Amino acid sequence: MRSTTAALGLAVAVVFALGFTVPACALPVPDPFPRADLQSGLNRLVDSGSASAALLRIQQGNDEWAAQAGANQLSSDVPPSPSSRFRIGSVTKTFVATVVLQLVDEGRLALDDPIDRHLPGVVPNGRAITVRQILNHTSGIYDYAHERDWSTNRWRGDARFRTYRPQELLDVAFAQPPYFPPGQGWHYSNTNYIVAALLIERLTGRPYGVEITERILRPLRLNQTSVPGTDPSVPEPHAHGYTEVEGEGWADATEMNPSLDWAAGEMISTTTDLNRFLHALLGGELLGPATLGAMRETVETGAGFRYGLGLQEFDLPCGTTIVGHSGQLLGYLTYVTAAPDGRQVTLSYNPYREQASTADSVLGLLATAQCGPPSP
């Protein structure tokens, strides 16, 4: 009786002698993503009560995977669709900054121009505040959203359907003193991006949302991304967002007129579109090398991340530095990120009951997606 090794050797010899090839599908292909760990992380986010629904999409090159957990509504057990749309909040700022930088590429302004040169009389002390300081939040301009009833991160009852004009938002901000002299500190201020959008409109003669659509959404075919204006709805499919109202229980916060956020946070998108947008942006499809380099130059914030021109930079516990932006509107929280190796990860979830562990769970998900599961 021949040994197993000898028999195997003979079989291999016959295969090659006859010109047969081993099918590629017979060879094991390593999984590029830690799918089981990511799905478990999403499930824990929901099972802990931190989120009512959660979506994640990870992509690197031609490899892509999406996962979801939770339900579309509290009263339902229907899971959210991987193609669900959601409010992206301050991720809108990255789109706005990109258009401003495209205008820099076109020679219509420079980053170190005083804002007063292009918007005369609009911003107090505008001759001392530069376009760059507007985009990286070093202008010192007060954040109107810190004022009571002027933030979409708070429940506003029927007032959430009211339409706001950009000038109203500026009036609230400029009624308060600045945080510091221009360039002498860092403070996140939604007002900066109201100013940035007005700058786009002054230079182009068109609404800032039209410029985003024509310059970014259509060329990249981001067909599920929109600038809703005063439309309070979120297109289907979508998971509902909720907030707890004192004395009333849980309120459905999905529908709201986003004009209170305007260019600081009104847009709606999907995990697919956001991954595509950030990949194109960082890959040089939307900006020239100099302006993209300027966009990625960061300042220290003291807030756990560094800030560029509409971009945040985070250090993960595994040592990887990711770039992208986070965004929050009532009922929705989103992170769109990219690692140096080109891996794209977008996480969006519907906050529910805040837990002490929620921030660690989210950080752990992003770290697992970008670096792999932690060593046992």
Give a yes or no: residue 20 inside a domain. Answer: no
Catalytic choice (90, 259, 269, 348) = 90
* CA atoms of 200 and 215, how far apart (whole Å): 12
Q: What is the pLDDT of residue 30?
A: 67
Digit-coded pLDDT (tens) for 126-179: 999 999 999 999 999 999 999 989 999 999 999 999 999 999 999 999 999 999
Instruction: Count structural domains, the chain.
Output: 1
Furthest CA-CA distance within the chain: 97
Indicate yes or no: pTM above 0.85.
yes
Rounded mean pLDDT, 277-287: 98
Query: Which pLDDT band holds residue 258 (cuts at 50, 70, 90)?
Result: very high
The gap between the terminal CA atoms of the chain, to the nearest Å, is 45
Give a yes or no: residue 83 inside a domain. Answer: yes
pLDDT above 70 as % of the chain? 91
**Residue-number span of the structural domain to which 288 is assigned:** 32-371
Rounded mean pLDDT, 21-38: 68
Q: Which of 361, 277, 355, 367 is nearest to 322 (CA)?
A: 367
Give a yes or no: residue 9 inside a domain. Answer: no
Give a yes or no: residue 297 inside a domain. Answer: yes
Q: What is the pLDDT of residue 202?
A: 98
What's the CATH code of the domain at 76? 3.40.710.10
Using a 10 angstrom Cβ sphere, with 0-12 exposed, 13-18 middle and 19 or more buried, the burial of residue 7 is: exposed
Give a yes or no: residue 139 inside a domain. Answer: yes
Higher per-residue confidence, 32 vs 267: 267
Give a yes or no: residue 5 inside a domain. Answer: no
- Could you confirm whether 189 is annotated as catalytic? no
Digit-coded pLDDT (tens) for 343-374: 999 999 999 998 878 888 999 999 999 998 76
Q: What is the pLDDT of residue 293?
A: 98
Given a contact cutoff of 8 angstroms between Cβ atoms, the answer to whether 118 and 198 are in contact is: no
